[in-house]
Structures are given as C-alpha cells and as structure tokens.
Amino acid sequence: MTEPSVQLTERAARRIAEIVAGEPATPMLRVSVEGGGCSGFQYKFDLVGSGDADDLVIEKSGARVLIDPVSLGFLTGSEIDFVDDLIGAAFKINNPQATASCGCGTSFSM
C-alpha cells in the first residue's frame, strides 16, 4: 500500500473522530479547495454522509477524510493538522504548494 499524497496528523484524526462521533448521519470529513478567499483559493471543511467513487479516502484512528480529485491537485504533499493555541482551535493545512497565505490560514495562492 502506498502512502496517501495528503497526510493526516494524529491530532487531526483524533479531533475528527470526536466531531463525527456526535454526527452519525455524517461520519466523514470532506476537505476541498474552492476559488475565493483573500488569497485566491480557500480550504473548505464539510461533514458528509458518503463519498464519491473517485475520492481519495484517508483513514486514521477512527477518522475518515475525503478529498475530491480536483482539490487533490491543490493539496498534494499537504499535511492536515489540528492546532489549539492562544488564537483558537482549528484545522490547519500545511501546504507546500502554497506560495502565499492569508493571516487567517484558510486561504492561499499558488
């Protein structure tokens, strides 16, 4: 089995598992990239009940993350993490393809 092209940290996996435990109708997290945001593209996180046949599925520690093929092109090589610090708790994507990002960390440019 090959390593997925997007990595999920243990912290992120644990947090996703906690979130979906209370949402039996939507047991998976979809991570996608959309046009918009202050830097050109933005990350989007949605709880979903099912995936599509062509989704990349990442499973770790009870968490399942789905990424569609178009978004995967923007996310290849990235790491999905969960950070809890003084400015708040949030999912953070460490994307080596991003050439710039905004202060909020949810939008980026390539």
Prediction pTM value: 0.86
Per-residue 3-state assignment (H helix, E strand, C coil) for 29-48: EEEEEEECCCCCEEEEEEEE
Could you tell me whether strands 56-60 and 88-94 are parallel, antiparallel, or unpaired per DSSP bridges? unpaired
pLDDT computed for residue 40 by the predictor = 78
Class of domain 7-102: mainly beta
Higher-pLDDT residue of 37 and 23 is: 23
pLDDT computed for residue 3 by the predictor = 57
Q: What is the mean pLDDT of residues 61-72?
A: 96
Determine contact, residues 46/34, Cβ cutoff 8 Å.
no
pLDDT computed for residue 28 by the predictor = 97
| pLDDT digits 0-9 by tens, 27-49 | 999 999 998 766 678 889 999 99
pLDDT computed for residue 1 by the predictor = 44
**Residue 103 above 90 pLDDT?**
no
**Residue 15 above 60 pLDDT?**
yes
